[in-house]
Amino acid sequence: MTPDAAHPYSRLTPDTLLDAVESVGLRADGRLLALNSYENRVWQVWIEDEAPLVAKFYRPERWSDEQILEEHAFAIELAEAEIPVVAPLAFAGRTLHEHGGFRFALFPRRGGRAPEFDDPKVLEWIGRFLGRIHARGATRAFAHRPALSIASFGEGPRDWIAAHDCVPRDLLESWTTTVDHALAGVRRCYERAGDVATIRLHGDCHAGNILWTDEGPHFVDFDDARSGPAIQDLWMLLSGDRADQQRQLCDVLAGYEDFADFDPRELNLIEALRTLRLLHYAAWIASRWDDPAFPAAFPWFATQRWWQDQILGLREQIALMDEAPLLV
């Protein structure tokens, strides 16, 4: 795997970016600040006589226009319900724009700090807003956004990695066997959970996508919005040993269940979803390796040690998936 200097993002120069912003009728003053994003390219752009905006340039060929617009519509629906999310801005009645071969959207700048996840009140507050998001998310289904499934987050990533010779040869047999055992454990977890509801989700609700201010939390980056079980937006808030996660879950649900019902059968999916995320993460980096930003950001990915740790992590997940789920 070698990065490609001619990757499409190589054409996203500062001039192209500024021209794109001005194509919707704004006047940029020339100042730009690159923000932390790898899947897309995201910049803070200063606007003359107005507050700065955030410009998000979508990765070419990842989402269709319909899928992006559905992401936008979901965020706008939540914002209109006074749920604190950062929704795209409309110019001439449109939220998705195109310039120089790139699709982009503009968002208000919303600052904040990382939430204090060791504070039960913070977790309860976040839980309340997630409950409100899920209550809205359950009112209708996505028509174009994908669903989180064993196929899309487990089997597909496994097959992509195997087909592209990503795993060092001397580890390939061990990796393949471990992944197959891990996916068997995931299927058992899903069987134990049974037929749980599928709703519209944030999809990637980790700490980096929740910002805290004195007014409380707000949610950013709905780029991974998809359909799935509610627990997908909850489990990434949990960390530490089993006792820690049990306490954190209770704190989150104390707020969540003020606005949405929680099906305890979904607790069977926590370790399964964590396992799927490991596989999806590996395939995500591997499939983006031609983007020069990825080797620079993840230099350890192509090393023997990383794949050894990946195998070890999956083996730990195999054991965890056979344990009893957390309780509520």
Active site residue: 165, 195, 204, 258, which one? Answer: 204
Q: How far apart are CA 79 and CA 126, in angstroms?
A: 16
User: Virtual CA dihedral for 37, 40, 44, 47, nearest 10 degrees?
Assistant: 180
Q: How far apart are CA 60 and CA 64, in angstroms?
A: 9
Active site residue: 221, 223, 233, 291, which one? Answer: 221
The string of DSSP codes covering 65-110 is HHHHHHHHHHHHHHHHTT--B-PPPPBTTBS-EEETTEEEEEEE--
| Cβ proximity of 68 and 87 under 8 Å | no
For residue 202, the surrounding DSSP H or E stretch is: none
Please list the residues that pair with 99 across neighbouring strands: 102
Q: How far apart are CA 206 and CA 281, in angstroms?
A: 14
Does residue 180 have an active-site annotation? no
Does residue 322 have an active-site annotation? no
Burial 173-196 (b: 16+ CB within 10 A, else e): eebeebbeebbebbeebbeebeeb
Tokens representing 205 are: 């609700």
Q: Which residues are catalytic?
A: 204, 221
